[in-house]
Structure 1
Amino acid sequence: MVAATKSSQFQIGWLEKTLSGISSSIEQAVFTEEHSHKNGWLQRIDPRAKLGMFLCFVLAASLSRSFFALLICYLVLLLAARASLIPFDFFVRRVWIGIPFFAGIVMLPAIFFTNGPRLFDLPIGLYHFGPSIESIWSGCIFILRVGVSVSLAVLLILTTPWADLLKSLQALRVPAVFTLLLSMTYRYIFLFLHTANGMFEARKSRTVGRTSGREQRQWISGSMGSLMHRSFRMSNEVYAAMMARGFTGQIRSYSAYRMRWLDWLALGISFLLSIVLVISGGYLR
Protein backbone atom coordinates (compact mmCIF):
# COMPACT_ATOMS: atom_id res chain seq x y z
CA MET A 1 0.00 0.00 0.00
CA VAL A 2 2.83 2.37 0.87
CA ALA A 3 4.64 1.55 -2.38
CA ALA A 4 1.47 2.26 -4.39
CA THR A 5 1.02 5.61 -2.63
CA LYS A 6 4.63 6.59 -3.34
CA SER A 7 4.22 5.58 -6.99
CA SER A 8 1.07 7.69 -7.26
CA GLN A 9 2.80 10.68 -5.69
CA PHE A 10 5.71 10.26 -8.10
CA GLN A 11 3.37 10.19 -11.12
CA ILE A 12 1.43 13.25 -9.94
CA GLY A 13 4.67 15.16 -9.33
CA TRP A 14 5.93 14.23 -12.79
CA LEU A 15 2.71 15.45 -14.40
CA GLU A 16 2.85 18.71 -12.47
CA LYS A 17 6.41 19.27 -13.66
CA THR A 18 5.29 18.56 -17.22
CA LEU A 19 2.50 21.11 -16.88
CA SER A 20 4.89 23.74 -15.58
CA GLY A 21 7.26 23.01 -18.46
CA ILE A 22 4.46 23.44 -20.99
CA SER A 23 3.36 26.72 -19.40
CA SER A 24 6.90 28.07 -19.24
CA SER A 25 7.45 27.19 -22.91
CA ILE A 26 4.35 29.13 -23.94
CA GLU A 27 5.23 32.09 -21.73
CA GLN A 28 8.78 32.08 -23.08
CA ALA A 29 7.47 32.22 -26.65
CA VAL A 30 5.22 35.19 -25.80
CA PHE A 31 8.10 36.92 -24.00
CA THR A 32 10.33 36.40 -27.02
CA GLU A 33 7.73 38.02 -29.29
CA GLU A 34 7.79 41.10 -27.08
CA HIS A 35 11.48 41.70 -27.83
CA SER A 36 10.82 41.95 -31.56
CA HIS A 37 8.55 44.98 -31.01
CA LYS A 38 11.04 47.02 -29.01
CA ASN A 39 12.56 50.18 -30.46
CA GLY A 40 16.07 48.77 -30.76
CA TRP A 41 18.69 48.97 -33.49
CA LEU A 42 18.06 45.60 -35.14
CA GLN A 43 14.29 45.98 -34.79
CA ARG A 44 14.43 49.10 -36.99
CA ILE A 45 16.34 47.39 -39.81
CA ASP A 46 14.45 45.93 -42.77
CA PRO A 47 13.95 42.17 -42.21
CA ARG A 48 15.44 41.33 -45.63
CA ALA A 49 18.61 43.27 -44.89
CA LYS A 50 18.70 41.78 -41.41
CA LEU A 51 18.48 38.24 -42.76
CA GLY A 52 21.30 38.97 -45.22
CA MET A 53 23.45 40.38 -42.40
CA PHE A 54 23.01 37.29 -40.28
CA LEU A 55 23.70 34.97 -43.20
CA CYS A 56 27.01 36.78 -43.81
CA PHE A 57 28.05 36.33 -40.18
CA VAL A 58 26.96 32.68 -40.11
CA LEU A 59 29.14 31.97 -43.15
CA ALA A 60 32.02 33.89 -41.57
CA ALA A 61 31.71 31.91 -38.34
CA SER A 62 31.54 28.62 -40.26
CA LEU A 63 34.63 29.39 -42.37
CA SER A 64 36.76 30.94 -39.64
CA ARG A 65 39.33 28.72 -37.91
CA SER A 66 40.62 31.32 -35.47
CA PHE A 67 39.54 31.40 -31.84
CA PHE A 68 40.22 35.14 -31.56
CA ALA A 69 38.32 35.97 -34.77
CA LEU A 70 35.31 34.05 -33.46
CA LEU A 71 35.65 35.80 -30.12
CA ILE A 72 35.62 39.19 -31.87
CA CYS A 73 32.52 38.11 -33.81
CA TYR A 74 30.78 37.13 -30.57
CA LEU A 75 31.66 40.47 -28.96
CA VAL A 76 30.11 42.23 -31.96
CA LEU A 77 26.97 40.13 -31.38
CA LEU A 78 26.83 41.18 -27.74
CA LEU A 79 27.09 44.86 -28.77
CA ALA A 80 24.31 44.35 -31.33
CA ALA A 81 22.12 42.67 -28.69
CA ARG A 82 22.78 45.53 -26.29
CA ALA A 83 21.87 48.10 -28.96
CA SER A 84 18.70 46.13 -29.67
CA LEU A 85 17.57 46.31 -26.01
CA ILE A 86 17.90 42.56 -25.45
CA PRO A 87 18.62 41.69 -21.77
CA PHE A 88 22.22 40.53 -21.50
CA ASP A 89 21.65 37.69 -19.04
CA PHE A 90 18.61 36.44 -20.94
CA PHE A 91 20.52 36.35 -24.24
CA VAL A 92 23.63 34.68 -22.83
CA ARG A 93 21.77 32.08 -20.76
CA ARG A 94 19.53 31.13 -23.66
CA VAL A 95 22.57 30.21 -25.75
CA TRP A 96 25.26 28.93 -23.40
CA ILE A 97 23.30 26.71 -21.00
CA GLY A 98 23.09 23.76 -23.37
CA ILE A 99 25.82 24.39 -25.96
CA PRO A 100 28.87 23.37 -23.88
CA PHE A 101 27.19 20.09 -22.95
CA PHE A 102 26.07 18.98 -26.41
CA ALA A 103 29.07 20.37 -28.29
CA GLY A 104 31.38 18.81 -25.70
CA ILE A 105 29.80 15.39 -26.24
CA VAL A 106 30.40 15.71 -29.99
CA MET A 107 34.01 16.80 -29.51
CA LEU A 108 35.03 14.26 -26.85
CA PRO A 109 36.18 11.57 -29.34
CA ALA A 110 38.19 14.11 -31.32
CA ILE A 111 39.86 15.40 -28.15
CA PHE A 112 40.91 12.05 -26.68
CA PHE A 113 41.55 10.00 -29.84
CA THR A 114 44.63 11.90 -31.02
CA ASN A 115 48.04 11.07 -32.40
CA GLY A 116 51.32 12.56 -31.27
CA PRO A 117 52.31 13.93 -27.86
CA ARG A 118 49.55 13.95 -25.27
CA LEU A 119 49.12 15.75 -21.99
CA PHE A 120 48.41 12.43 -20.24
CA ASP A 121 47.58 8.84 -21.22
CA LEU A 122 44.51 6.78 -20.38
CA PRO A 123 45.51 3.15 -20.99
CA ILE A 124 42.58 0.86 -21.79
CA GLY A 125 43.87 -2.59 -22.67
CA LEU A 126 46.28 -2.34 -25.57
CA TYR A 127 45.14 1.17 -26.52
CA HIS A 128 46.17 4.53 -25.11
CA PHE A 129 43.99 7.60 -25.17
CA GLY A 130 44.59 11.16 -24.08
CA PRO A 131 44.11 14.80 -25.08
CA SER A 132 46.72 17.03 -26.61
CA ILE A 133 47.02 20.79 -26.54
CA GLU A 134 46.06 20.99 -30.20
CA SER A 135 42.95 18.83 -29.76
CA ILE A 136 41.78 20.85 -26.75
CA TRP A 137 42.33 24.07 -28.66
CA SER A 138 40.39 22.69 -31.64
CA GLY A 139 37.54 21.68 -29.30
CA CYS A 140 37.38 25.20 -27.87
CA ILE A 141 37.22 26.64 -31.40
CA PHE A 142 34.42 24.24 -32.30
CA ILE A 143 32.38 25.11 -29.20
CA LEU A 144 32.85 28.84 -29.80
CA ARG A 145 31.86 28.44 -33.45
CA VAL A 146 28.67 26.65 -32.46
CA GLY A 147 27.97 29.29 -29.82
CA VAL A 148 28.38 32.14 -32.31
CA SER A 149 26.13 30.44 -34.88
CA VAL A 150 23.40 29.70 -32.33
CA SER A 151 23.69 33.25 -30.92
CA LEU A 152 23.14 34.63 -34.42
CA ALA A 153 20.02 32.53 -34.89
CA VAL A 154 18.65 33.45 -31.45
CA LEU A 155 19.31 37.16 -31.95
CA LEU A 156 17.61 37.09 -35.36
CA ILE A 157 14.50 35.41 -33.92
CA LEU A 158 14.41 37.70 -30.88
CA THR A 159 14.50 40.90 -32.96
CA THR A 160 12.28 39.86 -35.90
CA PRO A 161 8.57 39.00 -35.87
CA TRP A 162 7.93 35.53 -37.20
CA ALA A 163 5.73 36.68 -40.11
CA ASP A 164 8.40 39.16 -41.25
CA LEU A 165 11.08 36.49 -41.04
CA LEU A 166 9.07 34.11 -43.22
CA LYS A 167 8.40 36.85 -45.76
CA SER A 168 12.12 37.62 -45.83
CA LEU A 169 12.76 33.99 -46.72
CA GLN A 170 10.39 34.40 -49.63
CA ALA A 171 12.39 37.45 -50.76
CA LEU A 172 15.44 35.16 -50.94
CA ARG A 173 13.51 32.79 -53.22
CA VAL A 174 13.18 30.05 -50.61
CA PRO A 175 10.60 27.49 -51.85
CA ALA A 176 7.06 28.31 -50.75
CA VAL A 177 6.51 24.76 -49.48
CA PHE A 178 9.37 25.16 -46.99
CA THR A 179 8.11 28.49 -45.64
CA LEU A 180 4.56 27.14 -45.42
CA LEU A 181 5.61 24.09 -43.41
CA LEU A 182 7.77 26.26 -41.16
CA SER A 183 4.92 28.68 -40.56
CA MET A 184 2.38 25.97 -39.76
CA THR A 185 4.79 24.16 -37.46
CA TYR A 186 5.59 27.32 -35.52
CA ARG A 187 1.99 28.47 -35.18
CA TYR A 188 0.27 25.23 -34.25
CA ILE A 189 2.87 23.78 -31.90
CA PHE A 190 1.59 26.28 -29.34
CA LEU A 191 -2.01 25.29 -30.01
CA PHE A 192 -0.95 21.68 -29.51
CA LEU A 193 0.65 22.62 -26.17
CA HIS A 194 -2.51 24.44 -25.09
CA THR A 195 -4.55 21.33 -25.92
CA ALA A 196 -2.26 19.16 -23.79
CA ASN A 197 -2.44 21.73 -21.00
CA GLY A 198 -6.25 21.72 -21.11
CA MET A 199 -6.40 17.92 -20.97
CA PHE A 200 -4.22 17.85 -17.88
CA GLU A 201 -6.26 20.58 -16.17
CA ALA A 202 -9.48 18.69 -16.92
CA ARG A 203 -7.99 15.48 -15.50
CA LYS A 204 -6.73 17.23 -12.39
CA SER A 205 -10.05 19.00 -11.71
CA ARG A 206 -11.98 15.68 -11.90
CA THR A 207 -9.62 13.65 -9.71
CA VAL A 208 -10.96 13.41 -6.15
CA GLY A 209 -8.69 10.87 -4.46
CA ARG A 210 -5.34 9.28 -5.09
CA THR A 211 -4.91 7.08 -8.14
CA SER A 212 -2.55 4.16 -8.59
CA GLY A 213 0.50 4.21 -10.77
CA ARG A 214 -1.18 1.84 -13.23
CA GLU A 215 -4.14 4.18 -13.68
CA GLN A 216 -1.77 7.12 -14.19
CA ARG A 217 0.17 5.25 -16.87
CA GLN A 218 -3.06 4.22 -18.61
CA TRP A 219 -4.23 7.83 -18.63
CA ILE A 220 -0.90 9.05 -20.04
CA SER A 221 -0.92 6.50 -22.86
CA GLY A 222 -4.57 7.26 -23.66
CA SER A 223 -3.90 11.00 -23.66
CA MET A 224 -1.01 10.57 -26.08
CA GLY A 225 -3.26 8.71 -28.52
CA SER A 226 -6.00 11.31 -28.13
CA LEU A 227 -3.57 14.17 -28.75
CA MET A 228 -2.26 12.46 -31.88
CA HIS A 229 -5.81 11.98 -33.18
CA ARG A 230 -6.71 15.60 -32.46
CA SER A 231 -3.58 16.89 -34.17
CA PHE A 232 -4.33 14.98 -37.39
CA ARG A 233 -7.95 16.09 -37.37
CA MET A 234 -6.99 19.70 -36.66
CA SER A 235 -4.45 19.73 -39.50
CA ASN A 236 -7.10 18.59 -42.00
CA GLU A 237 -9.62 21.14 -40.72
CA VAL A 238 -7.12 24.00 -40.81
CA TYR A 239 -6.01 23.15 -44.34
CA ALA A 240 -9.61 22.93 -45.54
CA ALA A 241 -10.43 26.30 -43.94
CA MET A 242 -7.36 27.91 -45.54
CA MET A 243 -8.23 26.60 -48.99
CA ALA A 244 -11.85 27.74 -48.59
CA ARG A 245 -10.62 31.28 -47.89
CA GLY A 246 -8.44 31.46 -50.99
CA PHE A 247 -5.04 30.56 -49.62
CA THR A 248 -2.40 30.49 -52.38
CA GLY A 249 0.72 29.58 -50.38
CA GLN A 250 2.02 33.15 -50.10
CA ILE A 251 3.04 34.45 -46.67
CA ARG A 252 1.51 37.86 -46.00
CA SER A 253 2.55 40.44 -43.43
CA TYR A 254 1.06 43.69 -42.21
CA SER A 255 4.46 45.40 -42.38
CA ALA A 256 5.38 47.23 -45.58
CA TYR A 257 8.95 46.52 -46.69
CA ARG A 258 11.08 49.41 -47.86
CA MET A 259 14.87 49.29 -48.01
CA ARG A 260 16.39 52.57 -46.81
CA TRP A 261 19.96 53.70 -47.20
CA LEU A 262 20.63 52.80 -43.56
CA ASP A 263 19.56 49.22 -44.29
CA TRP A 264 21.87 49.02 -47.29
CA LEU A 265 24.68 50.50 -45.20
CA ALA A 266 24.21 47.95 -42.41
CA LEU A 267 24.12 45.12 -44.95
CA GLY A 268 27.29 46.35 -46.66
CA ILE A 269 29.17 46.80 -43.37
CA SER A 270 28.17 43.31 -42.27
CA PHE A 271 29.38 41.85 -45.57
CA LEU A 272 32.74 43.62 -45.34
CA LEU A 273 33.15 42.75 -41.66
CA SER A 274 32.45 39.07 -42.31
CA ILE A 275 35.12 39.04 -45.05
CA VAL A 276 37.60 40.70 -42.69
CA LEU A 277 36.87 38.10 -40.00
CA VAL A 278 37.45 35.23 -42.42
CA ILE A 279 40.68 36.69 -43.81
CA SER A 280 42.04 37.73 -40.41
CA GLY A 281 41.38 34.23 -39.12
CA GLY A 282 44.53 33.08 -40.91
CA TYR A 283 46.62 35.53 -38.88
CA LEU A 284 44.84 35.45 -35.50
CA ARG A 285 45.67 32.02 -34.14
Structure 2
Amino acid sequence: MREPSFSHRRAPGSRHFIARLLAGLLAAMAHADDAQTMADRPGWLQRLDPRVKLMGLGALIITAVAVHSLLALAGLLLAATIMARLSALSLARLLRQVWLGVLLFTGVLALPALFMVPGAPLFALPFTSLTVTAQGLRVALLLIGRAETSATLALLLVLTTPWPRLLKALRSLRVPKVAVMILGMTHRYIFVLLSGAVALFEARASRMVGPLPAGERRRLAVNVAGSLLERSLYLSQEVHLAMLSRGFRGEIRLMDDLCLQKQDWRAVPVFMLLALAGFSCQWLRLP
Protein backbone atom coordinates (compact mmCIF):
# COMPACT_ATOMS: atom_id res chain seq x y z
CA MET A 1 0.00 0.00 0.00
CA ARG A 2 1.49 3.33 -1.02
CA GLU A 3 0.39 6.80 -1.97
CA PRO A 4 -0.37 7.47 -5.63
CA SER A 5 2.49 8.71 -7.72
CA PHE A 6 2.17 12.29 -8.93
CA SER A 7 3.93 13.62 -11.99
CA HIS A 8 6.24 16.62 -11.73
CA ARG A 9 3.98 18.91 -13.72
CA ARG A 10 4.32 22.66 -13.62
CA ALA A 11 1.68 25.06 -14.75
CA PRO A 12 2.70 27.53 -17.44
CA GLY A 13 3.76 31.02 -16.39
CA SER A 14 5.54 30.61 -13.08
CA ARG A 15 4.99 34.30 -12.24
CA HIS A 16 1.24 33.88 -12.39
CA PHE A 17 -0.59 33.68 -9.07
CA ILE A 18 -2.41 30.41 -9.79
CA ALA A 19 0.67 28.96 -11.49
CA ARG A 20 2.73 29.57 -8.37
CA LEU A 21 0.07 27.95 -6.19
CA LEU A 22 -0.11 24.94 -8.48
CA ALA A 23 3.67 24.62 -8.52
CA GLY A 24 3.75 24.63 -4.71
CA LEU A 25 0.98 22.02 -4.40
CA LEU A 26 2.57 19.75 -6.99
CA ALA A 27 5.96 20.12 -5.30
CA ALA A 28 4.41 18.97 -2.01
CA MET A 29 2.94 15.92 -3.73
CA ALA A 30 6.22 15.13 -5.45
CA HIS A 31 8.06 15.46 -2.15
CA ALA A 32 5.73 12.93 -0.48
CA ASP A 33 6.12 10.53 -3.39
CA ASP A 34 9.90 10.89 -3.20
CA ALA A 35 9.78 10.03 0.51
CA GLN A 36 7.89 6.82 -0.30
CA THR A 37 10.49 5.97 -2.94
CA MET A 38 13.24 6.52 -0.37
CA ALA A 39 11.58 4.04 1.99
CA ASP A 40 11.72 1.37 -0.74
CA ARG A 41 15.44 1.78 -1.42
CA PRO A 42 17.97 -0.75 -0.12
CA GLY A 43 19.65 0.54 3.02
CA TRP A 44 20.51 -0.32 6.60
CA LEU A 45 17.48 1.27 8.21
CA GLN A 46 15.15 0.20 5.39
CA ARG A 47 15.97 -3.46 6.08
CA LEU A 48 15.12 -3.23 9.78
CA ASP A 49 11.79 -4.15 11.29
CA PRO A 50 9.72 -0.97 11.85
CA ARG A 51 9.23 -1.88 15.52
CA VAL A 52 12.99 -1.99 16.05
CA LYS A 53 13.42 1.35 14.28
CA LEU A 54 10.58 2.93 16.23
CA MET A 55 11.93 1.85 19.60
CA GLY A 56 15.61 2.38 18.74
CA LEU A 57 15.31 5.82 17.17
CA GLY A 58 12.72 6.78 19.79
CA ALA A 59 15.20 5.88 22.53
CA LEU A 60 17.86 8.02 20.84
CA ILE A 61 15.44 10.95 20.60
CA ILE A 62 14.66 10.63 24.32
CA THR A 63 18.39 10.51 25.02
CA ALA A 64 18.99 13.66 22.95
CA VAL A 65 16.27 15.52 24.82
CA ALA A 66 17.37 14.32 28.28
CA VAL A 67 21.15 14.77 28.24
CA HIS A 68 22.91 18.04 29.10
CA SER A 69 26.24 17.23 27.45
CA LEU A 70 27.25 18.90 24.20
CA LEU A 71 29.64 16.02 23.56
CA ALA A 72 26.77 13.52 23.82
CA LEU A 73 24.61 15.56 21.43
CA ALA A 74 27.46 15.82 18.94
CA GLY A 75 27.99 12.06 19.14
CA LEU A 76 24.29 11.33 18.61
CA LEU A 77 24.13 13.72 15.65
CA LEU A 78 27.21 12.06 14.15
CA ALA A 79 25.62 8.62 14.66
CA ALA A 80 22.41 9.82 13.00
CA THR A 81 24.42 11.14 10.04
CA ILE A 82 26.23 7.80 9.67
CA MET A 83 22.92 5.93 9.78
CA ALA A 84 21.57 8.28 7.12
CA ARG A 85 24.50 7.57 4.81
CA LEU A 86 24.12 3.81 5.38
CA SER A 87 20.45 4.22 4.42
CA ALA A 88 21.16 6.02 1.10
CA LEU A 89 20.23 9.48 2.41
CA SER A 90 22.57 12.18 1.19
CA LEU A 91 24.01 14.92 3.38
CA ALA A 92 22.55 17.48 0.97
CA ARG A 93 19.05 16.16 1.70
CA LEU A 94 19.61 16.36 5.46
CA LEU A 95 20.98 19.87 5.08
CA ARG A 96 18.03 20.97 2.97
CA GLN A 97 15.19 19.27 4.85
CA VAL A 98 16.38 19.46 8.47
CA TRP A 99 19.59 21.18 9.39
CA LEU A 100 19.08 24.60 7.79
CA GLY A 101 15.43 24.97 8.74
CA VAL A 102 15.91 23.81 12.33
CA LEU A 103 19.01 25.98 12.71
CA LEU A 104 17.19 29.11 11.55
CA PHE A 105 14.06 28.48 13.63
CA THR A 106 15.79 27.29 16.79
CA GLY A 107 18.56 29.86 16.41
CA VAL A 108 16.02 32.67 16.63
CA LEU A 109 14.58 31.14 19.83
CA ALA A 110 18.03 30.54 21.32
CA LEU A 111 19.44 33.97 20.47
CA PRO A 112 18.18 35.78 23.63
CA ALA A 113 19.84 33.15 25.84
CA LEU A 114 23.26 34.41 24.73
CA PHE A 115 22.71 37.66 26.63
CA MET A 116 20.01 36.88 29.21
CA VAL A 117 21.62 33.89 30.96
CA PRO A 118 24.00 35.19 33.61
CA GLY A 119 27.55 33.89 33.67
CA ALA A 120 31.15 34.59 32.82
CA PRO A 121 31.35 37.18 30.01
CA LEU A 122 32.99 36.06 26.78
CA PHE A 123 32.80 39.14 24.55
CA ALA A 124 30.65 42.21 24.01
CA LEU A 125 28.88 42.96 20.78
CA PRO A 126 30.25 46.08 19.11
CA PHE A 127 28.13 49.24 19.24
CA THR A 128 25.83 47.67 21.87
CA SER A 129 25.79 47.04 25.60
CA LEU A 130 25.04 43.32 25.11
CA THR A 131 27.54 40.78 26.42
CA VAL A 132 27.63 37.11 25.43
CA THR A 133 28.16 34.85 28.44
CA ALA A 134 29.71 31.38 28.52
CA GLN A 135 26.63 29.91 30.20
CA GLY A 136 24.33 31.61 27.70
CA LEU A 137 26.33 30.23 24.79
CA ARG A 138 26.13 26.75 26.29
CA VAL A 139 22.35 26.99 26.75
CA ALA A 140 21.90 28.15 23.14
CA LEU A 141 24.10 25.34 21.80
CA LEU A 142 22.20 22.78 23.90
CA LEU A 143 18.86 23.97 22.51
CA ILE A 144 20.07 23.93 18.91
CA GLY A 145 21.84 20.58 19.34
CA ARG A 146 18.78 18.90 20.82
CA ALA A 147 16.53 20.23 18.05
CA GLU A 148 18.93 19.26 15.26
CA THR A 149 19.55 15.75 16.63
CA SER A 150 15.90 14.98 17.39
CA ALA A 151 14.70 16.27 14.01
CA THR A 152 17.37 14.27 12.16
CA LEU A 153 16.44 11.04 13.95
CA ALA A 154 12.73 11.62 13.35
CA LEU A 155 13.37 12.25 9.65
CA LEU A 156 15.31 8.99 9.43
CA LEU A 157 12.34 7.10 10.85
CA VAL A 158 9.86 8.69 8.43
CA LEU A 159 11.98 8.46 5.29
CA THR A 160 13.05 4.84 5.78
CA THR A 161 9.70 3.33 6.81
CA PRO A 162 6.58 3.00 4.63
CA TRP A 163 3.66 4.68 6.37
CA PRO A 164 1.42 1.57 6.69
CA ARG A 165 4.28 -0.41 8.28
CA LEU A 166 4.94 2.43 10.71
CA LEU A 167 1.29 2.45 11.74
CA LYS A 168 1.40 -1.33 12.15
CA ALA A 169 4.47 -0.96 14.38
CA LEU A 170 2.63 1.57 16.54
CA ARG A 171 -0.26 -0.85 17.02
CA SER A 172 2.19 -3.68 17.80
CA LEU A 173 3.60 -1.50 20.59
CA ARG A 174 0.11 -1.09 22.04
CA VAL A 175 -0.46 2.49 20.91
CA PRO A 176 -4.25 3.10 21.22
CA LYS A 177 -6.24 2.15 18.16
CA VAL A 178 -7.92 5.56 17.99
CA ALA A 179 -4.58 7.38 17.90
CA VAL A 180 -3.26 5.16 15.10
CA MET A 181 -6.44 5.55 13.09
CA ILE A 182 -6.30 9.35 13.45
CA LEU A 183 -2.70 9.36 12.23
CA GLY A 184 -3.52 7.15 9.27
CA MET A 185 -6.59 9.12 8.21
CA THR A 186 -4.82 12.47 8.66
CA HIS A 187 -1.94 11.31 6.47
CA ARG A 188 -4.33 10.12 3.79
CA TYR A 189 -6.53 13.23 3.89
CA ILE A 190 -3.52 15.49 3.34
CA PHE A 191 -3.16 13.93 -0.11
CA VAL A 192 -6.89 14.09 -0.74
CA LEU A 193 -6.98 17.80 0.08
CA LEU A 194 -3.88 18.53 -1.99
CA SER A 195 -5.36 16.68 -4.95
CA GLY A 196 -8.64 18.54 -4.54
CA ALA A 197 -6.87 21.90 -4.36
CA VAL A 198 -4.89 21.13 -7.50
CA ALA A 199 -8.09 20.21 -9.36
CA LEU A 200 -9.83 23.42 -8.27
CA PHE A 201 -6.94 25.69 -9.22
CA GLU A 202 -6.43 23.94 -12.57
CA ALA A 203 -10.13 24.33 -13.35
CA ARG A 204 -9.92 28.03 -12.52
CA ALA A 205 -6.72 28.51 -14.52
CA SER A 206 -8.29 26.89 -17.61
CA ARG A 207 -11.02 29.56 -17.59
CA MET A 208 -8.73 32.58 -17.25
CA VAL A 209 -7.57 34.86 -20.06
CA GLY A 210 -5.49 37.30 -18.00
CA PRO A 211 -3.96 38.00 -14.59
CA LEU A 212 -6.25 38.46 -11.59
CA PRO A 213 -6.30 41.66 -9.51
CA ALA A 214 -5.22 41.45 -5.86
CA GLY A 215 -8.76 41.44 -4.48
CA GLU A 216 -9.84 38.66 -6.82
CA ARG A 217 -6.81 36.56 -5.84
CA ARG A 218 -7.73 36.82 -2.16
CA ARG A 219 -11.35 35.98 -2.94
CA LEU A 220 -10.24 32.94 -4.95
CA ALA A 221 -8.05 31.64 -2.12
CA VAL A 222 -10.90 32.00 0.41
CA ASN A 223 -13.38 30.27 -1.92
CA VAL A 224 -11.02 27.36 -2.52
CA ALA A 225 -10.42 26.95 1.22
CA GLY A 226 -14.16 26.90 1.91
CA SER A 227 -14.83 24.45 -0.91
CA LEU A 228 -12.08 22.12 0.33
CA LEU A 229 -13.51 22.21 3.86
CA GLU A 230 -16.99 21.37 2.60
CA ARG A 231 -15.67 18.55 0.42
CA SER A 232 -13.55 17.11 3.21
CA LEU A 233 -16.49 16.98 5.63
CA TYR A 234 -18.66 15.20 3.07
CA LEU A 235 -15.87 12.88 1.94
CA SER A 236 -14.95 11.92 5.52
CA GLN A 237 -18.44 10.55 6.14
CA GLU A 238 -18.46 8.66 2.84
CA VAL A 239 -15.00 7.17 3.39
CA HIS A 240 -15.82 6.15 6.98
CA LEU A 241 -18.98 4.33 5.90
CA ALA A 242 -17.15 2.64 3.01
CA MET A 243 -14.37 1.45 5.35
CA LEU A 244 -16.86 0.09 7.87
CA SER A 245 -18.76 -1.74 5.14
CA ARG A 246 -15.50 -3.47 4.15
CA GLY A 247 -14.75 -4.68 7.65
CA PHE A 248 -12.33 -2.01 8.88
CA ARG A 249 -12.26 -1.78 12.68
CA GLY A 250 -9.14 0.31 13.25
CA GLU A 251 -6.50 -2.39 12.87
CA ILE A 252 -3.74 -2.00 10.27
CA ARG A 253 -3.52 -5.01 7.95
CA LEU A 254 -0.45 -5.77 5.83
CA MET A 255 0.15 -8.32 3.12
CA ASP A 256 3.25 -9.53 4.98
CA ASP A 257 3.23 -9.61 8.77
CA LEU A 258 6.03 -8.05 10.82
CA CYS A 259 8.74 -10.53 11.79
CA LEU A 260 12.13 -9.95 13.42
CA GLN A 261 15.14 -11.07 11.38
CA LYS A 262 18.83 -11.49 12.20
CA GLN A 263 19.68 -7.91 11.23
CA ASP A 264 17.00 -6.67 13.63
CA TRP A 265 18.53 -8.52 16.58
CA ARG A 266 21.94 -7.15 15.62
CA ALA A 267 20.60 -3.60 15.44
CA VAL A 268 19.06 -3.66 18.95
CA PRO A 269 22.41 -3.54 20.82
CA VAL A 270 23.59 -0.77 18.47
CA PHE A 271 20.72 1.48 19.51
CA MET A 272 21.15 0.50 23.16
CA LEU A 273 24.88 1.26 23.14
CA LEU A 274 24.31 4.65 21.52
CA ALA A 275 21.70 5.58 24.13
CA LEU A 276 23.90 4.36 26.99
CA ALA A 277 26.88 6.27 25.59
CA GLY A 278 24.81 9.46 25.58
CA PHE A 279 23.71 8.99 29.18
CA SER A 280 27.27 8.04 30.16
CA CYS A 281 28.45 11.49 29.08
CA GLN A 282 25.73 12.89 31.33
CA TRP A 283 26.74 10.75 34.32
CA LEU A 284 30.45 11.50 33.86
CA ARG A 285 29.61 15.22 33.66
CA LEU A 286 31.42 15.63 30.36
CA PRO A 287 31.02 19.05 28.69
TM-score, scaled relative to structure 2: 0.88
Match of 1:6 in 2: none
Contact 1:73 1:148 in 2 (8 A): yes
Contact 2:71 2:281 in 1 (8 A): no
What is the CA deviation profile of residues 42-81 of structure 1, one whole-angstrom value per residue up to 9, with x for unaligned ones?
Answer: 1111111111111121121112211122111111111111
Find out whether 1:22 has 2:6 as its counterpart: no
Deviates more, 1:96-105 or 1:30-39: 96-105
Report how many residues are paired: 271
Q: 1:115 to 1:79 in 2, by over 3 A?
A: closer
**Partner amino acid, structure 1, of 2:286:** L
1:40-189 paired onto structure 2 within 5 Å: 40-118=43-121, 119-120=123-124, 129-189=130-190
Give the 3-state SS of the residue equivalent to 2:16 in structure 1: helix
Match of 2:8 in 1: none
Deviation, 1:120, is 2.5
Deviates more, 1:215-224 or 1:154-163: 215-224
| Matches of 1:121 and 1:89, distance apart in 2 | 33
> What are the ranges of 5 or more consecutive residues in structure 2 without an aligned counterpart?
1-14
Q: 1:215 to 1:129 in 2, by over 3 A?
A: same
| Matches of 1:65 and 1:276, distance apart in 2 | 13
Match of 2:254 in 1: 253
Deviation, 1:272, is 2.5
Deviation, 1:117, is 4.1
| Matches of 1:56 and 1:169, distance apart in 2 | 15
Deviation, 1:92, is 2.7
Contact 1:122 1:130 in 2 (8 A): no
Give the 3-state SS of the residue equivalent to 1:41 in structure 2: coil
Deviation, 1:137, is 2.0
Give the 3-state SS of the residue equivalent to 2:158 in structure 1: helix
| Matches of 2:78 and 2:216, distance apart in 1 | 53
Give the 3-state SS of the residue equivalent to 1:131 in structure 2: strand
1:203-242 paired onto structure 2 within 5 Å: 203-242=204-243
Find out whether 1:243 has 2:244 as its counterpart: yes
Contact 1:47 1:164 in 2 (8 A): yes
| Matches of 2:212 and 2:62, distance apart in 1 | 55
Give the 3-state SS of the residue equivalent to 1:253 in structure 2: coil
**Partner amino acid, structure 2, of 1:284:** L
Q: 1:130 to 1:247 in 2, by over 3 A?
A: same
Deviation, 1:155, is 0.5
Match of 2:10 in 1: none
| Matches of 2:252 and 2:79, distance apart in 1 | 32
Deviates more, 1:251-260 or 1:188-197: 251-260
| Matches of 1:123 and 1:210, distance apart in 2 | 48
**Partner amino acid, structure 2, of 1:74:** L
| RMSD, aligned CA | 2.0
Contact 1:65 1:141 in 2 (8 A): yes
Q: 1:271 to 1:220 in 2, by over 3 A?
A: same
Q: 1:215 to 1:255 in 2, by over 3 A?
A: same
Match of 1:31 in 2: 34
What is the CA deviation profile of residues 211-256 of structure 1, one whole-angstrom value per residue up to 9, with x for unaligned ones?
Answer: 4333333222222211111111111111111111111110112232
**Partner amino acid, structure 1, of 2:197:** A
Contact 2:16 2:211 in 1 (8 A): no
Percent of pairs identical after alignment? Answer: 35
TM-score, scaled relative to structure 1: 0.89
Higher relative contact order (CA 8 A, sep 6+): 1
When Rg is computed on C-alpha atoms for both structures, the one with the higher figure is: 1
| Matches of 2:66 and 2:85, distance apart in 1 | 26
